[in-house]
């Protein structure tokens, strides 16, 4: 039962989880902010893509070019106006604020878009597949995985090859010293959340074409994203990808044994990694 097919599908599923998790990983890595509204922000981005596709008659991939900058602005403003005010030594206020944000987003979307199940249409691409010999693999899941790798590569480049990345790392390590060097943490944080929202929009594109979404499905996806971040090690982007793949493969292998074990297997893999390496596979920062 557990053949190459199961493993390949699991790896591709891991790509989706890694996309969900990348934005979370970025924000957590830089400002130690646990964003409980991350799943709902993905759903918000999916609705934004839906509005752009229906209003302008664009395909979902082109719509990304319109929706992503808009989400950047939303993220930047959210961080600047709301989240920066609650960041501090106490980790509880940001948790509470993002939890509240999650409730507000769900109900605002319900009010605005009703409870109808919606979907982003990608035409024939939705059901297209390629035969890899050992398994038939959907084109969309392949694109999802490729996008996850591309997003991680781009973030990695941003972090380690640019001035902004240096500022990110400096602020992450020690905001006080960084601000002595002329880096403004408040503005760095806002930019980081904005970039996280770009990633969120890409995740929303693949979530919205893969399955239906409605205003309430955000939180269900959050837990896998968290697990991917934790397994990978806080602050490590490649670790997040590895974490997503581990959970994805664990789920498909578990399901191949019995569908009742699908979700459980993912959680067991998560606990197993924590038992062996409590700080995750590739922890970057020491904290």
What residues contact residue 172 under an 8 Å CB cut-off, 6+ apart?
Answer: 29, 30, 31, 235, 285
Which CB, 156 or 262, lies closer to another protein? 262
Task: Write the binding mask 233 to 252 for another protein: x where contact by CB under 8 A, - elsewhere.
Answer: ---------------x--xx
| 133 binds another protein per the rule CB under 8 A | no
Which CB, 74 or 250, lies closer to another protein? 250
Which residue in the set 76, 145, 159, 213 belongs to the binding site for another protein (CB under 8 A)?
A: 213
Residue 129 β-bridge partners: 138
What residues contact residue 268 under an 8 Å CB cut-off, 6+ apart?
Answer: 250, 254
Which CB, 230 or 255, lies closer to another protein? 255
Which residue in the set 41, 44, 140, 197 belongs to the binding site for another protein (CB under 8 A)?
A: 140
Which residue in the set 70, 135, 154, 170 belongs to the binding site for another protein (CB under 8 A)?
A: 135
Which CB, 259 or 278, lies closer to another protein? 259
Query: How far is 85 from 68, CA to CA, in rounded Å?
Result: 25
Which CB, 30 or 225, lies closer to another protein? 225
Query: How far is 106 from 47, CA to CA, in rounded Å?
Result: 11
Query: How far is 123 from 61, CA to CA, in rounded Å?
Result: 11
Which residue in the set 133, 182, 259, 278 belongs to the binding site for another protein (CB under 8 A)?
A: 259
Q: Which stretch binds another protein (CB under 8 A): 56-64, 69-77, 154-162, 208-216?
A: 208-216
Q: Of 12, 8, 250, 10, which Cα lies nearest the Cα of 140?
A: 12
| 267 binds another protein per the rule CB under 8 A | no
Rg (CA), the chain: 19
| 121 binds another protein per the rule CB under 8 A | yes
Which CB, 63 or 83, lies closer to another protein? 63
Contact 224, 13 (CB under 8 A): no
Is 233 exposed, middle or buried (CB count within 10 Å of its CB: 0-12, 13-18, 19+)? Answer: buried
Query: How far is 88 from 165, CA to CA, in rounded Å?
Result: 22
Considering only the C-alpha atoms of the chain, give the largest distance between any 2 of them, rounded to a whole number of Å.
59
Which residue in the set 55, 73, 108, 115 belongs to the binding site for another protein (CB under 8 A)?
A: 115
Structure tokens at 63: 């719509």
Which residue in the set 32, 69, 95, 126 belongs to the binding site for another protein (CB under 8 A)?
A: 126
Q: Which residues bind another protein (CB under 8 A)?
A: 1, 5-6, 9-10, 13, 16-17, 110, 114-119, 121, 126-129, 135-141, 210-214, 216-217, 220-221, 248, 251-252, 255-256, 258-260, 262-263
């Amino acid at each position: 039962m557990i053949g190459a097919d199961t493993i390949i599908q699991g790896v591709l599923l891991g790509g989706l989880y890694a996309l969900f998790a990348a934005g979370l990983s970025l924000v957590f890595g830089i400002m130690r902010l646990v964003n409980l509204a991350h799943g709902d922000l993905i759903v918000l981005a999916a609705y934004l893509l839906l509005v752009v596709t229906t209003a302008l008659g664009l395909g979902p991939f082109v719509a990304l070019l319109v929706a992503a900058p808009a989400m950047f602005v939303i993220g930047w403003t959210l961080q600047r106006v709301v989240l920066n005010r609650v960041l501090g030594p106490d980790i509880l206020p940001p948790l509470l604020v993002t939890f509240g944000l999650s409730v507000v987003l769900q109900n605002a979307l319900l009010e605005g878009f009703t409870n109808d199940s919606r979907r982003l249409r990608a035409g024939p691409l939705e059901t297209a597949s390629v035969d890899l010999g050992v398994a038939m693999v959907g084109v969309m899941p392949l694109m999802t995985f490729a996008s996850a790798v591309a997003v991680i590569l781009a973030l990695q480049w941003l972090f380690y090859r640019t001035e902004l990345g240096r500022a990110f790392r400096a602020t992450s390590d020690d905001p006080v010293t960084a601000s002595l060097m002329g880096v403004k943490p408040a503005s760095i944080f806002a930019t980081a959340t904005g970039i996280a929202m770009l990633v969120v929009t890409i995740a929303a594109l693949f979530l919205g074409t893969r399955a239906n979404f409605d205003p309430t499905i955000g939180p269900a996806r959050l837990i896998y994203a968290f697990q991917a971040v934790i397994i990978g090690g806080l602050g490590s982007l490649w670790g997040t990808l590895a974490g997503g793949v581990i959970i994805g493969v664990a789920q498909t292998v578990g399901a191949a044994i019995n569908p009742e074990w699908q979700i459980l297997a993912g959680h067991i893999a998560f606990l197993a990694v924590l038992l062996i390496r409590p700080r995750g596979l590739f922890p970057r920062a020491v904290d």
